[in-house]
Structure 1
Amino acid sequence: MMKRVDIKVATLAAIIGLALTGCSGDDGQNGTDGEPGKDGNPGIPVATDAKALTVAIDKVVIGDQSDITFKVTNEKELPVVGLEKFGFILSGLEQGTNGDANDWSLLSSEACPASKYSKCGSLTDNKDGTYSYRFEKDLTSETGFTITDDKTLRLVLRTGGEAVGQAEVAYANTSYDFRGEGEAALYSKNVVNNQNCAGCHDDFAIHGGKYTEVETCVSCHTENKVSDASKIFPMLAHDAHIGVISAPVGGCDNCHSENEQATDFANWKMVPTQETCITCHTDVDFKEGVNHWPYDDNAQCASCHTPEVIESVHLSTYQGQNERRSNLHLTVTDAKMVPAPQAEENKGKAGSFVQLTIDILDKDGKSRNEQLDKVNYLYYAEFYINWGDQDQGLGFGESVADGRGKVLRVHTNKGPYPGYSEKPIVLNYENGKTTYEIGPFDMDDKFKGDLTDLYGTVSPRIWFCMDASGENIMDCDGQTDWSNGAAGYNWLEFFNTQGLMEERPRRQIVTNELCGDCHGTTTSEDGFVQMTLNCRNCHSKAGDGEFHGTTCVSGNVDSEEQILLKNLMPRGERDWTTASNAAEECMACHNANVVPTQVIRDAHTKQGDKDYVEQLTMSHPDQKVWIHAMHANNRANQSGEGWRRNVEYSADLANCGKCHVKDSYDAKFLVGRKPLALDLDYMDTYTDPTDPVNGRYAVDGVADAYVSPTAAVCLSCHGKRAAQEGEDRRQVRAEVVSHMKQNGAQFGVTLDEYNGEESCAVCHNLNNLKEVHGQK
């Protein structure tokens, strides 16, 4: 008989209680009496209710007869008696040999009360908050694993799913790793944990919500438990995420990131095995020698696939980008709005102009003393500019004023469309600094009046060419040097009529770190963090048909005049195009003044549809609308069965704090904002943009109707219901639109009809929003 392992733990408390939260209000009435408390030992106060349970393991004896003694308390540290529902999982960790990874083996999974899925051993309630459990199974009988004094064992104890007092306590899992003779485990394999998952997911609960920790999953989805190798946890997790998550596929550190609990976060590059590699590299058959020479085991994998090689192969794109980026910096040294043009080419044009001064710096921060428009090593250098932000006394920026703004295209890979890609106008060049003048900007806004005293933004889009080594800048010849190049870092500068502003005037709504939790981040050595979001998932590119270079088309028209929508799936490489700066620079184009584009209309939202205006609203490019609608799968080009652009958001859409900084989602910030512009007769007036005489581009949309801003934002999440039989997309919820209209919202009204008198924030104040969205 295997010798028994007797372990006593004084005060081990693995606290994993998920507090029950919900939306509730005070009705002013006294609550009803709770159920009588369950009897405990005489003289011992026991809990009459609980929001969460804490489990402390007191004693574990493992052998042919295995016993556990543990104590359960509530959040007030009172003993909880009378519990009847528990789960017990015990697994052992086997050290890998011949290159194999260390693997868990399931020794037993039991639960009380018993069911068709699990047996229940002997459970005893000691009436003082402590419980005793004897496993039904002889844990030494597992043929694939031998318990010894030095091997790590893991006990997972499940609580919850039953009422304590009047409220049911949420499921929670407590895990405890140990080894024989009462000593701490020498080693425990923790590659990922809930903290890694929490970047994208709000919580982690599967199998009816009973299992809430990654430690539980790896303990049960083991080779000796599951019959299908694809269900072993590493393979199962890869299969569920590869090509599905919103971060670049090759970025293993999206999930395998370091934290205090994930002690083996680097396992992905330290222990290469064929079992995990083929979950991504599906075209490889190691046994048959397809796309790799054949071998029988993992013994030699690490000989070639060293940690350095694996990291380089998977992450070199963005790590190399960081190294290459350091060779060149385009820096705005000054920017200001002037009331009249100074460049000869602009003389006689009505309106104000932005003067932008740019210096080219080397990796040491010194000027290269070169005129920007005359160098040949920039594949593109474009600067997106807009104007019209204001504070309004609330500490936030108003919507920018000038439609898609202006783009200073000093170097560009865009097509030569008239009015879209024009030759830059140089005002001055001196001491390595080139000053450009771009405009005109209209300072008279139809909603805000004179905009002269406000401020503007400028952000770049940069790519420069290098040799194959990634060490030397070289002139672009349009071939290999382009792919060897580097995307410059994004940045955002604020300026006014006096020049660059030293302090940030706009409230912070999102951050690179928050967005990067799901989309990935790229960090330089000096700590500069950017969200790794590939804009080309939505934007047009060369070969995308006749609309390339004219608009953000979210797809293209193929030769049969059918809409060919691009997939929203992430690319395989990080930072192949410029990363994003918390989406703020997108405001230059993605604002309330820009009407929805041709392709969205032609694909799924057509004039004459009964919900035409509402569908256009949810498909609007305004930043505060399209981000919500896209994540909620509510845009007109989403939500169809089998459509390529569907999004399955991995968290709770009601969790505003997942993306927003603090209370930046307060409805007061929408009061007085500019309405969203629509062009309702666009399809009647649209013409072929290649027509040299009458061509009308998608960027030439003319606003003829407007939608209230608060209604548009709220509709972006709350506006759709699930499609019913025979419907090819989710339908607009008429009752939601009606409620909004009853409270002042306007949809598709003319400029003269628009009054801006929404009353949403009266009821939906910050406290109300937090309550109904379940926010703390």
Structure 2
Amino acid sequence: MKYWKAIMAAALLFGLSSCGGGDDSDKNDPPPPTPGDPGSVVFSAKAPVFVSVAAPEGAAAKSTEKLAVDFSLKDAQGNPVEVGTTEISFSVTKLIPGRVVDGPTGPVAGPSIWKAFIYSKSKATFEKSTAGTLENLGNGNYRYLFAIDFKNVLDPYPTDSADNGGIIAWDDGKLHRLAVTFGSAEEGSTMPLINYTLDWVPSGGTAALTRDILEMESCSDCHMDQPIHHSTRNDPKVCVACHNDSNPTQTGRMSLAVLAHKYHSTGKDNVDASLAKGGHYPQDPRNCDTCHKPATPSTPNANDWTVPTEQTCKACHADYASPVKEHHTGEDCRACHADGNADHASAGVTNVHLNRLKGMQAGAATLKIDIKHALYDVATKQVTIGLSISESGSPIEMQRLSDIAYMSPGLLVNWDEGEGQVLPNSHSSITLKNCTGGTGDFTCVTDPILEAVPASDAVLTITVADMGLCVEKKATELDGLPAGLKACPADGLKTISKDHFEYIAAPNIPVAHFDLNGNPVDGYQFGVGVEKALCENCHKNFEIHFGGTAYDHAARDFNQCGNCHNANRASFYTGMAGDLKYHVHSYHAMGSHRGAAHAATEDEAKALIPFPGKVNNCESCHTQEQFNLPNQKNVRPSVVSKITNFGKDNAVGGIGDNADTRANKFYSPALVACGSCHLKSELGNVNLSTPVAGDEWASHMQENGAVFGADTAEAAIGVEQCDSCHAIGQEQGVDKVHKVFDFR
């Protein structure tokens, strides 16, 4: 189907052409970009001007004025590029003063507005080059004559042009913006995606009014220069050509300020923020500084975000029941919530969002858990752990920890024999409230661990399970003091949304390592093949999926994730591995539960994929050494369970009715990592004899050593030959087939 082909193209399937020629190292100097690659075409334009053109034969006037823009297309070496059949879209807007709104003390001027000149059905849009006249001037130079008459555009928002008879005035003294977009970021395109803007004042000089709040780099940390929603838009300065306040209605063409806040806070369908359907924002939406950076010469108005408007605020706050909705309807938000308002200093947007969040994070950081020692008892098969717990430097009792920790806090016990964590899940978890001791010092003992016996050189690894804390919401943010830890309500979410505190993930996550005799092991590195700092480009503060609901984790470290999500952990869902190397790749490429692979339409599939860049951008998460083949980290075969909805339907004790008879099988490591994207079916559901559409590569994988469904881990080790063709530097190396050079 078309939607599956689009997903697979984005993942860049392995090539079958001949191997060889590799030197086992990345070719760090990429070849000159080929047509269609990013950077292969350079677009530049001159400020548009009005030119006289001959009127059609028989017209009353002898000539008329048309707006014209001269532009050039060159390749990376400066050679001319032919437009060919490429359709180019042009837009022109101008900046006008904001509309007057009613504030609590009288009329107030709103923020400046981009007024569009080009409309379709009263909605701002682009004019396609097929509508006007595109003239080839030679040597890569072109001129485009717009079709519309810019001096006779009927304003669909007539009150903006009441002083000009309802016609949008062409004002030579105001700032205008030319926006151009064409090409595609899709694989196989002969013209790369181009987004271009040029701001100019037709009369020359400097504009008295500007509106440069955000630049593309603010979006690119997450979106990685890829199109955002539309297939040809990746620059917010281009987006505002359509998404601006010149539209008479915000239905379907809302301003970018509203659209971005709405999508990043409550999701496309405007559901509760904890669900965020279609618009998962992988961090707390109060991290305003993720998008809003300090002012620069190219964004002189960047600090304007601290002067809120009702329309923008309601994008987040008016879509669910809250005091914000009840108290602020119809008011000018700036009266109380603008930064620097002396009468309402604590209510400034920076304080109630960013500073309050930082206060809660600082409050959560006042809890500290230290793991002092751990010892494995060969006879009893138990691990004994000693730890101390303090709050703001003072010892606290276990009851206090139980009160402030949402969900029972616990310790996760595991060990590593050189290839990653051994135990499959939380069978070795210790609920802290069952530990003994007092005055901040406690001793915890696991139940007998029967799943495995550690080798003599194994390293014990102890960490705290994902822990959410109940923290005061209205922190004293102005003087920098941290919020306080509060006792969690007995009825959980039913109360917490109404009171002045909320859940936040504990940031001080202890991770300790010991040999089996209880001696500390220094320098231990958890075996995960990804850089946490790169994950934090999108997941600020390493927030993965914690939104304060009963189903979200509050993990802050890969040690926490890996104690459950390791090679010995089967997923809750049929045919899937719970291992991080499958779990993370699969989620970023296919969405939750691989929903995109089974979507009914291409649009539905795209909506289910939460990765904001391209999934073949390996270096958005990995260093070069980490994505090379053979697997550099997490090298063990992974368990896959054949049980449908394991642990969900017919659950007994959270494990499942069939826990003792589940048909676990083992899959080889490169297959697990690569098959998470390159096979449509879940690993355990791949039919090798008659593969369904999308599983065609299963045969190629098996022919080159991939092991599907071995009975033991040992039977799935050491036979994969993927690196003979796909190691970095090979003709079909992962660096080449994933085109990592395009993203550098």
Q: TM-score, normalised by structure 2?
A: 0.68
Give the aligned partner of residue 719 of structure 1.
679
> What is the alpha-carbon distance in structure 2 between the residues aligned to residue 56 and residue 637 of structure 1?
42
Match of 1:214 in 2: 236
Count residues with an aligned counterpart: 617
| C-alpha deviation, 1:104, in angstroms | 0.9
In the alignment, what sits opposite 1:53?
Answer: 41
User: What displacement does 1:321 show?
Assistant: 1.9
CA shift for structure 1 position 658? 2.6
- Judged with a 3 Å threshold, the aligned counterparts in structure 2 of structure 1 residues 178 and 733 are, in CA distance, closer, same or farther, namely closer
For the pair 1:708 / 2:668, whether they are aligned, the reply is yes
TM-fit CA distance, 1:389: 2.5
Q: Which amino acid aligns with 2:383?
A: F
Deviations 1:104-127 (Å, cap 9, x if unpaired)?
1123599xxx998863247461x4
Residue matched to 2:697: 736
Match among 568, 593, 614 for residue 593 of structure 1:
568
Please give the secondary structure, in 2, of the residue aligned with 1:625. Answer: helix
Alignment partner, residue 429 of structure 2: 407
**What's 2:338 paired with?**
306
Structure that is richer in helix per residue: 2
Q: Is the 8 A contact 1:204 1:212 kept in 2?
A: yes
Of 312-321 and 150-159, deviating more is 312-321
SS at match of 1:96: coil
Q: Deviations over 1:439-484 (max 9, x none)?
A: 5457966xxx825343524234445566786655566674799773
TM-aligned CA deviation for residue 155 of structure 1: 2.0
In the TM superposition, residue 92 of structure 1 has moved relative to its aligned partner by 0.6
Match of 2:279 among 245, 264, 268: 245
Name the stretch that deviates more: 460-469 or 95-104. Answer: 460-469
- Describe the shift of the 1:106–1:276 C-alpha distance in structure 2 as closer, same or farther (beyond 3 A): farther
| Contact 1:707–1:746 under 8 Å retained in 2 | yes
CA deviation after TM superposition for structure 1 residue 89, in Å: 2.7
Hey, what's the Cα distance between the residues in 2 that align with 1:200 and 1:134? 37
* Cα contact 2:415–2:423 (8 A) shared by 1: yes
Unpaired stretches in structure 1, ≥5 consecutive residues: 1-20, 29-46, 341-348, 392-396, 412-422, 522-528, 542-576, 606-615, 723-729
Residues 720/476 of structure 1: CA separation in 2 closer, same or farther (3 Å cut): closer
2:513 maps to which residue? Answer: 495
Distance 2:312 2:474 in 1: 33
Match of 2:542 in 1: 530
Matches within 5 A, 1:10-409: 52-58=40-46, 60-61=48-49, 66-78=67-79, 87-98=89-100, 99-107=109-117, 119-121=131-133, 123=135, 125=137, 127=138, 130-133=141-144, 135=146, 137-142=148-153, 144=161, 145-148=168-171, 150-158=173-181, 168-205=190-227, 209-224=231-246, 229-234=251-256, 235-237=258-260, 242=267, 243=276, 244-247=278-281, 250-251=285-286, 253=288, 256-258=291-293, 263-265=300-302, 267-274=304-311, 277-278=314-315, 281-282=318-319, 291=326, 295=330, 300-307=332-339, 308-311=347-350, 318-332=357-371, 334-340=372-378, 349-351=379-381, 353-362=383-392, 366=393, 368-370=394-396, 372=398, 377-379=403-405, 382-391=409-418, 398-401=420-423, 403-404=425-426, 406-409=428-431
d(CA) in 2 for partners of 1:377 and 1:58?
Answer: 65
CA offset at residue 314 of structure 1? Answer: 5.1
Q: In 2, are the aligned partners of 1:592 and 1:674 still within 8 Å (CA)?
A: yes
Q: Is the 8 A contact 1:719 1:732 kept in 2?
A: no
Q: CA deviation at 1:83?
A: 7.2
In the superposition, relative to structure 1, how do residues 276 and 769 fare at CA in structure 2: closer, same or farther (>3 Å)? same
1:588 to partner: Cα distance: 0.6
AA aligned to 2:42 is T
Partner deviation per Cα, 1:287-323 (whole Å, 9 max, x = no partner): xx9956775xx7x332134344445555577344214
Which residue identity lines up with residue 666 of structure 2 in the other structure? Answer: Y
Q: Who is 2:740 aligned against?
A: 775
**CA contact under 8 A between 2:132 and 2:146: conserved in structure 1?**
yes
Superposed CA RMSD: 5.0
Pairing partner for 2:444 from 436, 444, 458: 436
Work out the CA distance in 2 between the residues paired with 1:433 and 1:170.
Answer: 62
User: What is the DSSP-based 3-state SS (H/G/I as helix, E as strand, rest coil) of the residue aligned with 1:331?
Assistant: strand
SS in 2 for 1:638: helix
Q: How far did 1:655 drift?
A: 2.3
Distance 1:23 1:104, change over 3 A: farther
Preserved contact between residue 179 and residue 185 of structure 1 (Cα < 8 Å): yes
* 751 and 479 in structure 1: CA distance in 2 versus 1, 3 angstrom threshold: closer
Contact 1:388 1:400 in 2 (8 A): yes
2:736 matches 1:758: no
Specify the code of the residue in structure 2 equivalent to 1:52. S
2:696 match: secondary structure: helix
Contact preservation (8 Å) 1:513, 1:531: no
